[in-house]
Amino acid sequence: MKKYNFYAGPSILSEFTIKNTAAAVENFAGMGLSILEISHRSKEFIAVSDEARAMIKELLDVPSGYEVVFLGGGASLQFCMVPYNLLAKKAAYLDTGTWASNAIKEAKLFGEVDVVASSKEANYTYIPKEYTIPEDADYFHFTSNNTIYGTEMRYDPDVKLRMVCDMSSDIFSRPVDVSKYDIIYAGAQKNLAPAGVTLIIVREDALGHVARAIPTMLDYRTHIKKESMFNTPPVLPVYAALQTLKWYKEQGGVKAIEKINLDKAAILYDEIDRNKLFKGTVAVEDRSIMNVCFIMNDEYKELEADFASFAAAAGMVGIKGHRSVGGFRASLYNAMPKSSVEALITCMKEFEKRH
Ligand SMILES: Cc1ncc(COP(=O)(O)O)c(C=O)c1O
């Protein structure tokens, strides 16, 4: 039976990515060896890493003065690397969810943290809009897409200071004005590759302004200087990332992908709003186009487990909501075809007919 993959991460990758990566596991770059067993310093792999970083620059229109780095440690390591490298005295953070608050917790180890606003009291069902960012902060940090709650800031805020963003779950889903940011980071396991690599785009002149000693591995300058080869990089995820980037280019780039994403999200939200059994969980204006969260309407609450089984029987995988929200979450990352979203909608309609 066909499976429809709605996992929040690790999550769906394009068939192109999976096929080419599988082929490279057997025979990489005509070397007669698997990508799993070659040196990261082989000329064939260096070419992969260089091409992947160049394609990120091309697809996101990264201006000069920025470098792209691949690191291990997940996005969670960036929660500490960002303040280690940028926080001299004080940083400003917007608290829009679990990941943002994890980032805040780490930053507090390095200096003063001004949480400019938080929607925690409303279980993160909206993005705070009214807040003042202190001008003497070293940087402003926010999470563009809140994977767990299904809210998203689909714009690049204008702030007067350095800006850092966790784009783990919506990178490449829309064009971004990189020039507004000093650091953008993203774990790969949603819109790029299997877990294991983290993408960082960093403005070089944002570095070197803190007095503290930074351990070599945690200093962005180490990895910039060594072109992401200071130590052994996650070879397979980087290879898979390159395949995804090539596929994005074939799709027409991030602008074209954004159009498709908006359409996919719109049809699913329309169904949630129309169907008598379901309702959305977050403020309409802050709805994420990547992670669509919904629950049963109050009078149909007891049908939640039935719908979960009904959807599973129709091939839907990974739609259980995060435990802190409950209900359902359908993640519609870039690689998800519109036909899969339509299959979920059909399933919702059929379930409604039975009740
Ligand atoms: C927005 C966001 N930030 C950070 C993380 C943590 O990423 P990692 O598991 O790579 O540390 C996640 C994971 O889902 C996420 O969705």
What average pLDDT does this structure show over 63-70? 98
d(CA 136, CA 91): 9
d(CA 205, CA 288): 32
Q: What's the pLDDT tens digit per position in 175-216?
A: 999 999 999 999 999 999 999 999 999 999 999 999 999 999
Of ligand 1's listed atoms, the one at least distance from the Cα of 148 is 16
Ligand 1 centroid distance, CA of 261 (Å): 20
Question: What pLDDT shows up at residue 96?
Answer: 98
Catalytic site includes residue 338? no
**How large a percentage of the chain has pLDDT more than 70?**
100
From the list 95, 170, 190, 264, the catalytic residue is 190
Provide Rg for the chain, Cα atoms.
21
Asked if 280 and 291 touch (Cβ cutoff 8 Å), the reply is no
> Which residues are CB-neighbours of 339 under 8 A, at least 6 positions away?
none
From the list 99, 156, 182, 286, the catalytic residue is 99
Ligand 1 centroid distance, CA of 331 (Å): 14
Q: What is the dihedral of CA 320, 324, 325, 331, to 10 degrees?
A: -50
Encoded tokens for 128: 């705070």
Asked if 283 and 119 touch (Cβ cutoff 8 Å), the reply is no
Catalytic site includes residue 99? yes
d(CA 245, CA 239): 10
Burial of 113 (0-12, 13-18, 19+ CB in 10 A): buried
Question: What pLDDT shows up at residue 205?
Answer: 97
Question: What pLDDT shows up at residue 99?
Answer: 98
The pTM for the full model equals 0.98
Smallest CA-to-CA distance from 57 within 179, 147, 235 is with 179
Instruction: Identify the residues whose C-beta falls under 6 Å from ligand 1.
Output: 9, 74-76, 99, 143, 147, 166, 168-169, 187
If DSSP codes are grouped into helix, strand and coil, which group holds residue 273? helix
Q: What's the pLDDT tens digit per position in 138-162?
A: 999 999 999 999 999 999 999 999 9
What average pLDDT does this structure show over 84-111? 98
DSSP-assigned letters across all residues of 294-315: EEE-GGGGGGHHHHHHHHHHTT
Question: What pLDDT shows up at residue 140?
Answer: 98
For domain 4-10+252-353, the CATH class is alpha beta
Smallest CA-to-CA distance from 79 within 110, 47, 46 is with 110
Strands (E), 57-109: 66-71, 90-95
Encoded tokens for 276: 């008598």
What average pLDDT does this structure show over 75-81? 98
Q: What's the pLDDT tens digit per position in 303-347?
A: 999 999 999 999 999 999 999 899 999 999 999 999 999 999 999
If DSSP codes are grouped into helix, strand and coil, which group holds residue 142? strand
CATH tag, 15-250: 3.40.640.10
Smallest CA-to-CA distance from 11 within 339, 348, 354, 331 is with 331
Confidence of residue 92 (pLDDT cuts 50, 70, 90): very high
Question: What pLDDT shows up at residue 158?
Answer: 96
* 4-10+252-353 and 15-250 share one fold: no
Confidence of residue 240 (pLDDT cuts 50, 70, 90): very high
Question: What pLDDT shows up at residue 204?
Answer: 98
The domain segmentation of the chain, as residue ranges, is 4-10+252-353, 15-250
Confidence of residue 256 (pLDDT cuts 50, 70, 90): very high
> Which residues are CB-neighbours of 277 under 8 A, at least 6 positions away?
296, 297, 300, 303, 307, 348, 351, 352, 355
Distances (CA, A) of 95 to 5, 100, 119, 171: 29, 5, 7, 19
Indicate the average pLDDT of the chain: 98
Catalytic site includes residue 166? yes
Smallest CA-to-CA distance from 191 within 260, 293, 89 is with 260
Confidence of residue 294 (pLDDT cuts 50, 70, 90): very high
From the list 138, 156, 166, 286, the catalytic residue is 166
